[in-house]
Amino acid sequence: MTSRNLLHVVVIGAGILGTSTAAHLARAGARVTLVTAGKPADGASGRSIAWLNSSGARSPEYRYLRLIGIDRYRTWSVRHPESSAYLRFDGALKWADEGESFAPTFAYERAAGYDSVWVDSAEVAALTPDVDASTVASEGAIFNAGEGWVNLPDLVTALLAEAVADGAELIEDAGDVRVDVQEGAAVGVILGDGTRIAADRVVLATGGHVPAQLAALGVTVPDATPAAFVVITEPVDPRVRTVLNTPRVAVRPMPDGRLVLDADWAEKSIVAADDGSLTVPDSSVQGLLDEGSRVLAGNPTLRAHRVGAGLKPIPGDGEPVVGAVPAIDGLYLLFTHSGATLGLILGELLAEEVLTGRPSPVLDAFRLSRFDDAGEVGEVGIGAWAPVSR
């Protein structure tokens, strides 16, 4: 991908999606400014389970996007051998709760050619020795050898280094950044201190805050974003390698031997105050620690190192929303769950669209215009604002 014109693009949000887009833009020769309210990866990217997968039943377009997303990680791992510290493909194991069945999921994955193997509890110990086989469902489990995990803050740091080396500018601690809209076009951004930065294009990649920011501009995107949290444990010995998705806890290794834990039931226990602050019950934290201990071989005692709570970006229909905002010329958005799996590929494809003006066919199913009322813009004053994600 090459750029014929030295476009200036401002990317709002320095999580995996914004940083990936900035790095791909800078690599292609654009002038890039990456702005973020706080520090890079201090939002959803810093508290993601970051499981790299195309597991389960999905639309064909979404399954394909996730598969090429994983492909880009494999390319990254070859070009960046040092990434073996924070990017691993050691497989993932998942099983259903008693009374439920993953047999239809397995049949779907195999019919789609996905690398899935059905294992019974007797085979678990040999295949995934870091798992307590006695906790696996009586029907068995699905092992996906091609799946893995990434520690997003490390990847964001590496992408930022590449972007800066290619001439990008990073502005941290920018406060509440506003998209500067004049006469129906995005002409730049306004930082929290009132500083204006002019731009030819603006990319909005602020995770769970995207819907509110677009709403402030008069644009609607259906939103199912919940509050969520993860527990990061103290280091565990011996090291865990397998990503686990069990009925009561998901487990992902970290480079330093810690673990990341989350679960849907725990996320639902969060208490949100009127001011937007979130409280995570101690009982939910301990519940995740107990469940994590239960499914790991040797049942190690797990202790919390920290708890990360915030918004978990999920579009209304569960699938990504990517590309140009039809109602505002020059404005692009990235809003998706599975930002880890899709981080490299979405940054690449959106950067190409921004620079060439040619929509990627791969992203056609994920346009904002698929929603009936999308793309309608109301009366927006100069410098209409919305809070930016950290």
| Total domain count, the chain | 2
For residue 122, what pLDDT band results from cuts at 50, 70 and 90? Answer: confident
Structure tokens at 150: 């990434």
Mean per-residue pLDDT, 377-390: 30
Structure letter (DSSP) for residue 211? H
Domain boundary residue, one of 292, 311, 330: 311
**Per-residue pLDDT for 19 more than 60?**
yes
**Per-residue pLDDT for 311 more than 60?**
yes
Please check whether residues 156 and 300 belong to one and the same domain: no
pLDDT, residue 390, reads 25
Please check whether residues 168 and 156 belong to one and the same domain: yes
Q: At what angle do helices 339-356 and 16-27 cross, to 10 degrees?
A: 40
Please check whether residues 172 and 205 belong to one and the same domain: yes
Mean per-residue pLDDT, 125-138: 94
**Per-residue pLDDT for 165 more than 80?**
yes
Q: Determine the Cα–Cα distance for residues 21 and 348; give it in Å rounded to an integer.
A: 6
**Per-residue pLDDT for 353 more than 50?**
yes
Mean per-residue pLDDT, 139-168: 98
pLDDT in tens, 90-117: 999 999 998 999 999 999 999 999 999 9
For residue 121, what pLDDT band results from cuts at 50, 70 and 90? Answer: confident
Please check whether residues 122 and 183 belong to one and the same domain: no
CATH number at residue 33: 3.50.50.60
Please check whether residues 164 and 124 belong to one and the same domain: no
Please check whether residues 250 and 385 belong to one and the same domain: no
pLDDT, residue 378, reads 36
Please check whether residues 112 and 162 belong to one and the same domain: no
For residue 80, what pLDDT band results from cuts at 50, 70 and 90? Answer: very high
**Per-residue pLDDT for 382 more than 60?**
no
Please check whether residues 307 and 239 belong to one and the same domain: yes
- Name which of 138, 131, 47 is nearest 90 in CA terms: 131
Q: What is each CA distance from 376 to 120, 129, 331, 345, 370, in whole angstroms?
A: 52, 54, 14, 28, 12
Structure tokens at 245: 């998705």
Residue holding tokens 């970290």? 254
Structure tokens at 205: 């990649």
- Name which of 263, 251, 266, 267 is nearest 300 in CA terms: 251
Please check whether residues 125 and 24 belong to one and the same domain: no
Task: Identify the bridge partners of residue 150 per DSSP, sorted by sequence position.
Answer: 87
pLDDT, residue 375, reads 40
- Name which of 230, 244, 53, 55 is nearest 150 in CA terms: 53
**Per-residue pLDDT for 257 more than 50?**
yes
* Cβ-Cβ contacts under 8 Å for 72 (sequence gap 6 or more): 344, 345, 348
Please check whether residues 204 and 345 belong to one and the same domain: yes
pLDDT, residue 360, reads 97
Please say whether the beta carbons of 336 and 316 come within 8 A: no
pLDDT, residue 370, reads 96
Q: Determine the Cα–Cα distance for residues 344 and 73; give it in Å rounded to an integer.
A: 7
Please check whether residues 217 and 260 belong to one and the same domain: no
Indicate the SS3 state at residue 159: helix
**Per-residue pLDDT for 4 more than 50?**
no
- Name which of 311, 296, 38 is nearest 153 in CA terms: 38
Structure tokens at 314: 């999920």
Please check whether residues 106 and 154 belong to one and the same domain: no
Query: In angstroms, what is the C-alpha Rg of the chain?
Result: 21
H helices within the chain, ranges in order? 16-27, 60-79, 103-111, 121-127, 152-165, 210-216, 264-267, 282-295, 339-356
**Per-residue pLDDT for 6 more than 50?**
yes
SS3 content of the chain, % helix, strand, coil (to 5): 35, 25, 45
Mean per-residue pLDDT, 352-372: 96
Element (H or E) spanning 156, and its range? helix 152-165
Structure letter (DSSP) for residue 324? E
As a whole number, the mean pLDDT across the chain is 93
**Per-residue pLDDT for 376 more than 80?**
no
Of 26-30, 64-68, 131-135, 382-386, the one with minimum mean pLDDT is: 382-386
Q: Which domain holds residue 285?
A: 90-148+225-311
Structure tokens at 261: 């834990």
Residue holding tokens 């377009």? 61
Q: Determine the Cα–Cα distance for residues 58 and 320; give it in Å rounded to an integer.
A: 12
Q: Is the dihedral of CA 46, 49, 54, 60 positive or negative?
A: negative
Domain boundary residue, one of 311, 344, 366: 311
Structure letter (DSSP) for residue 318? S
**Per-residue pLDDT for 262 more than 50?**
yes
* Cβ-Cβ contacts under 8 Å for 316 (sequence gap 6 or more): 221, 222, 223, 224, 371
Would you list the DSSP string of 127-160?
H-TTB-GGGS-TT-EEEETT-EEE-HHHHHHHHH
Cis status, amide bond into 238, omega within 30 of 0: yes
- Tell me the residue ranges of DSSP E strands in 205-312: 227-233, 243-245, 250-253, 259-262, 271-272, 278-279, 304-311
Q: Determine the Cα–Cα distance for residues 142 and 72; give it in Å rounded to an integer.
A: 24
Indicate the SS3 state at residue 154: helix
Domain boundary residue, one of 311, 337, 352: 311
pLDDT, residue 5, reads 55
CATH number at residue 297: 3.30.9.10
